[in-house]
Amino acid sequence: MLIAIPDLLGADDLAAVRTLIDAAEWVDGNVTSGHQSALAKRNLQLPEERMEAKRAGQIILDALGRTPLFIAAALPAKIFPPLFNSYAGGQAFGTHVDNAVRIQAGSGFRVRSDLSMTVFLEEPDAYDGGELTVETLFGVQQVKLPAGHAVLYPSSSLHRVEPVTQGRRVASFFWIQSMIRDDSARQMLFDLDSSVQALASELGHGHDQVIRLTGVYHNLLRRWAEG
């Protein structure tokens, strides 16, 4: 399941995030890499303990909580605090799979990485290359979205960031532990929820069949959800 989430950040939130992170000091991106990723990763990253990173990350977390599409697609149980990276001058991140478990530095907070998310923070015409390339069951998909837009995809998928040959690609990235561990079950729930919402728009939320299907959705969620 690869889902684009348009306008996650509005203009004011996007400007606030960029003001915070652009004024901060960036370091080598391998500070958060596992062994496999370190072999393929060439970029810069904002240290997660920096005040600017925490404040910018909170803006993104607040936006996620206001975004029904994200909640329906991810069914989040835990969200790793957003991180920030930058690519320029030919930097890239080769093909890899995200670590299964992410642990926040200096704390016991950990997240099983069911889903990965990238929030684009630079307009696509401001840099060349830098596409997020994800290998899915339906073939290879490349994603390069407007600033403030985001994409959600399975952490288990092979993916990479193509070399940035001109300009600078700036983004936030993080991982989500879903209440629904299985990707196919999560996809079915998302499809069912989308259909229920479409029917409710046509028939009204009080229609017998809408109520029945809503019950099916919640009973499946109850059956599959983990604490």
Q: Would the annotation count 98 as a binding residue? A: yes
Report, as an integer, the average pLDDT of 18-40.
76
Residue 108 pLDDT exceeds 90? no
C-beta of residue 1 within 8 angstroms of C-beta of residue 186: yes
Residue 36 pLDDT exceeds 60? no
Three-state SS at 131? coil
What are the tens digits of pLDDT across the range 173-200? Answer: 999 999 999 999 999 999 999 999 999 9
Domain covering 3-178 assigned CATH 2.60.120.620 in the classification:
yes
- Report domain extents, the chain: 3-178, 183-224
Closest C-alpha among 193, 177, 191 to residue 225:
177
Q: Would the annotation count 159 as a binding residue? A: yes
Assigned CATH class of 183-224:
few secondary structures
Phi-psi region of 98 (alpha: psi -120 to 50; beta: other; left: phi over 0): beta
d(C-alpha 167, C-alpha 90), whole Å: 10
Q: Would the annotation count 169 as a binding residue? A: yes
pTM for the predicted model, two decimal places: 0.93
Report, as an integer, the average pLDDT of 91-102.
94
Token pair 């899915």: residue: 136
